[in-house]
């Protein structure tokens, strides 16, 4: 069984991969958050959610090694030979992770996360309930975040609602659409009560949440968007950044 601490380790690795891949923001982190919220609303057990989190964090690992253009464009912008190559990435991900002890369930979810509910997805063209529930959840979380990254309409709550309705029963499991919209509405993915505040790194305190990825003065990645600062992390970040400004989230309801 996967230990809870492994989720944190995988999260660090996935965000390093995210930086190497030059994807926008912390895509995998947002997919993890959204997917876990949907799963909780579906009544999924804590153990199954742990497997889901691992899969969400590593679902794109098979894209590394692909040309930058293919990684940085949304799937709907690819065609011809590029699309053929791109469609192999879930299988590549599964092969890369197949020897990780205890990750068998996560690997199954990763391999099936690009399948569409109507059978038009890849790599196997699975349909409906033949797609594992966890993979269907990652599909909708990944799809919504990708839409928000690449389509202006996806950055508004109404745009997300319209996207979900348009893909209901097509790419997405219709039973998951309502819970997904609620989960997105509650997250920082869309409008909420949180706003960002810029503070000096010297003013950082344990418990603060980063509003964007943090880099050192030489441009090296240090911490991901959404990370909550810990007692041990704060003095190290202060030492590395000095008075460099850092954006954190502030909840207006507090």
Assess whether pLDDT exceeds 60 at residue 204. Answer: yes
Average pLDDT over residues 181-203: 75
Average pLDDT, the chain: 86
pLDDT of residue 187: 66
pLDDT, tens digit (0-9, with 9 covering 90-100), for 5-20 = 566 566 656 665 655 5
pLDDT of residue 168: 97
Token code pair at residue 21: 């891949």
pLDDT, tens digit (0-9, with 9 covering 90-100), for 143-183 = 999 998 888 777 788 898 999 999 999 999 999 998 998 88
Token code pair at residue 207: 């418990």
pLDDT band at 85 (very low <50, low <70, confident <90, very high): very high
Segments making up each domain of the chain, as ranges: 4-186, 194-251
CB 28 within 8 A of CB 15: yes
pLDDT of residue 253: 47
Cα–Cα dist 90/112, whole Å = 7
Assess whether pLDDT exceeds 60 at residue 193. Answer: no
The 3-class secondary structure across the chain, one letter per residue, is: CCCHHHHHHHHHHHHHHHHHCCCCCCHHHHHHHHHHHHHHHCCCCHHHHHHHHHHHHHCCHHHECECHHHHHCCHHHCCHHHHHHHCCHHHHHHHHHCCCCCCHHHHHHHHHCCCCCCCCCCCCCCCHHHCCHHHHHHHHHHHHHHHHHHCHHHHCHHHHHHHHHHHECCCECHHHHHHHHHHHHHCCCCCCCEEEEEEEHHHCCCCCEECCCEECCCCCEEECCCCECCCCHHHHHHHHHCCCEEEEEEECCC
User: In this structure, which CATH number among 3.50.50.60, 3.90.105.10, 1.10.3720.10, 3.30.530.20 belongs to the domain 194-251?
Assistant: 3.90.105.10
pLDDT band at 21 (very low <50, low <70, confident <90, very high): low
**pTM exceeds cut of 0.85:** no
pLDDT band at 197 (very low <50, low <70, confident <90, very high): very high
User: In this structure, which CATH number among 1.10.3210.10, 1.10.3720.10, 1.10.357.10, 3.20.20.70 belongs to the domain 4-186?
Assistant: 1.10.3210.10
Please give the residue that has the higher pLDDT: either 187 or 197: 197
């Amino acid at each position: 069984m996967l230990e809870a601490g492994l989720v944190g380790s995988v999260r660090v690795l996935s965000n390093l991969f995210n930086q190497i891949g030059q994807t926008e923001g912390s895509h995998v982190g947002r997919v993890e958050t959204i997917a876990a919220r949907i799963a909780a609303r579906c009544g999924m057990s804590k153990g199954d959610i742990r497997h889901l989190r691992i899969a969400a964090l590593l679902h794109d690992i098979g894209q590394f090694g692909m040309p930058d253009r293919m990684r940085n464009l949304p799937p709907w912008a690819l065609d011809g030979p590029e699309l053929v190559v791109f469609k192999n990435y879930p299988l590549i991900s599964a092969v890369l992770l197949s020897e990780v002890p205890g990750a068998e369930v996560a690997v199954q979810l990763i391999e099936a996360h690009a399948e569409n509910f109507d059978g038009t997805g890849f790599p196997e063209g699975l349909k409906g309930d033949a797609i594992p529930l966890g993979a269907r959840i990652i599909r909708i979380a990944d799809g919504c975040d990708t839409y928000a990254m690449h389509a202006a309409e996806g950055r508004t709550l109404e745009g997300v609602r319209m996207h979900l309705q348009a893909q209901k029963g097509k790419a997405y499991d219709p039973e998951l659409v309502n819970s997904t919209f609620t989960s997105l509405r509650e997250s920082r993915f869309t409008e909420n009560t949180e706003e960002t505040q810029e503070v000096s790194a010297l003013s950082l305190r344990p418990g603060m949440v980063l509003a964007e990825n943090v880099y050192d003065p030489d441009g090296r990645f240090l911490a991901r968007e959404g990370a909550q600062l810990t007692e041990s992390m704060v003095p190290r970040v202060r030492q590395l950044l000095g008075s460099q400004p850092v954006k954190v989230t502030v909840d207006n309801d507090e």
